[in-house]
Amino acid sequence: MPQQTISSGPQQAPTPTVFVLFGATGDLSRRMVLPAFYDLFCRGLTPPEWVLVGNGRGADADQDFAERVRASLEEFGPGSDKIDDKQWKDFSDRLRFAGGGFDETDPGSLLDVIGEAADGIGDGAQYVHYLAVPPVAFGEVVAGLAAHDLLKNAKVVFEKPYGTSLQSFTELDEQVHSVMKEEQVFRIDHFLGKEATQNLHVLRFGNAMINKIWSADAVAQVQIDAPEPLDVAQRAEFYDATGAFKDMIATHLFQVAAEVAMDPPASIAPDDLQDAREQVLAAFRPLDPSEVVFGQFDGYTDIDKITDDSTTDTLAAVRLWVDTDRWRGVPFVLRSGKRMAGDDQLVSLIMRETQGPLGDLDDAAARLEISLKGSGSIAVALIMKRPGPDLTLREERIDLSLGEVSGGEALDPYVALIHDVLLGDRSLFTSSAGLADAWRVAEPVLADPPEPLPYEPDGWGPKQAEALTDGLGWMTERE
């Protein structure tokens, strides 16, 4: 079929923008935000007029900040050999730095710098305040934005975690909503920005043969698995205070589960997509601690800045139930952990056992798999006859890499999400109501966390986590 572009509804054109990056000299800005913004610029997806103002406690001159940005692009962006000199000059000419920190009583030099930036790009500029700061500083920055009258015509971007429990989420959300409207708030979850996650909509709603099997009638179990081979040494203090359950399950994987489980939205307009996710998150049953397994890899407490008696979970696996007509009775089994043997990020819809003349077959042999890793891929595993004189059955996979779909180029999740912020498109961002339900579902486990079980590094975690799959095993381990 010819290429077809579907509109998600009216979108604001990229207006002149002052992009204020709080925590501009920190690790998150260096690794993610600044390379993503440069990628947007190189693709011609930034507004025609923009200025990026970095904010921090130091006293960097604009040129010093530009050199920091260049270093981050060389390490985490395209690399020094791929940075075009003319593009870099055009980009770096729009960089400013406002030092002296920022809080409710002292804005440092930020007001002067952004005032000058706004004057330079013309009338009607929008402000995007990106909070690449530790979550404990969210409230302080929000109070400062309100006190210094910086929320008019503004959007505010929050990194996760947006709260660490239902109580802390509620306190932060009440503070935020006391000074700004919900439509100004953009809570980033980079899993929702992945190309493959976005393709879940199209796979379901653009293909009737897939949509027909997307329910308890055909699906026996849904698995969402995100193992990681990396350890936590680079962010040990943050991780030890957070753990795998809060870092991955209650945030990223709950949102992916909502993408899988939601009923068809009224349209693909941002509000309708958010409404569909919110409705299904409200139907998530609170977790039963007896259906949750925590693990901790051997050697975790030997890492610098980790105490010898730490009980932080480096692996978490849960069985989640979705109480809707579409999914009632189907277990959603979620897992994520550090120092594991694989690094795929796989959503697996395992089909019900076929009753018929071929007799008993492998319970998990027929399945639909969506890999969220990189550009993503879609695979169908089917029972086929092996060529030859005998009726010998085997499992075969048909794979489609989304990176090979013609006519386009995948965007990094941060690139896609920052672009949507500039346009005012909130369809891939978490909502207040949805996050409240996510923390409600997690609350029983936070109140009564299981004791972490030891597991060997570079393996697949404690066997108790596999038991949550009801004997099917984790699909990521079948390769």
Q: Which of 129, 148, 177, 252 is catalytic?
A: 252
- 188, two tokens: 């980033």
> Residue 181 annotated as binding?
no
> Residue 104 annotated as binding?
no
> Residue 77 annotated as binding?
no
> Residue 301 annotated as binding?
no
By CB atoms closer than 10 A (0-12, 13-18, 19+), residue 393 is: middle
> Residue 194 annotated as binding?
yes
Q: How far apart are CA 418 and CA 14, in angstroms?
A: 12
> Residue 329 annotated as binding?
no
- 327, two tokens: 């999914």
252 labelled catalytic:
yes
Q: How far apart are CA 231 and CA 307, in angstroms?
A: 16
Q: How far apart are CA 469 and CA 106, in angstroms?
A: 54
> Residue 251 annotated as binding?
no
> Residue 346 annotated as binding?
no
- Best CA proximity match to 124, nearest among 44, 46, 14: 14
Whether 138 contacts 158, CB under 8 Å: yes
Dihedral, CA atoms, 92, 95, 99, 102, nearest 10 degrees?
Answer: -150
Determine the Cα angle at 20 with ends 14 and 23, to 5°.
Answer: 140
> Residue 212 annotated as binding?
no
> Residue 92 annotated as binding?
no
Determine the Cα angle at 72 with ends 66 and 76, to 5°.
Answer: 150
Whether 161 contacts 247, CB under 8 Å: yes
> Residue 160 annotated as binding?
yes
Residue 409, C-beta contacts closer than 8 angstroms, at least 6 positions apart: none
Axis-axis angle for helices 195-205, 254-261 (nearest 10): 20
> Residue 290 annotated as binding?
no
> Residue 24 annotated as binding?
yes
Q: How far apart are CA 205 and CA 469, in angstroms?
A: 28
> Residue 338 annotated as binding?
yes
> Residue 89 annotated as binding?
no
Annotated binding-site residue numbers: 23-30, 57, 160, 190, 194, 228, 247, 338
Annotated binding-site residue numbers for NADP(+): 23-30, 57, 160
**Enzyme catalytic residues:** 252
Annotated binding-site residue numbers for substrate: 190, 194, 228, 247, 338
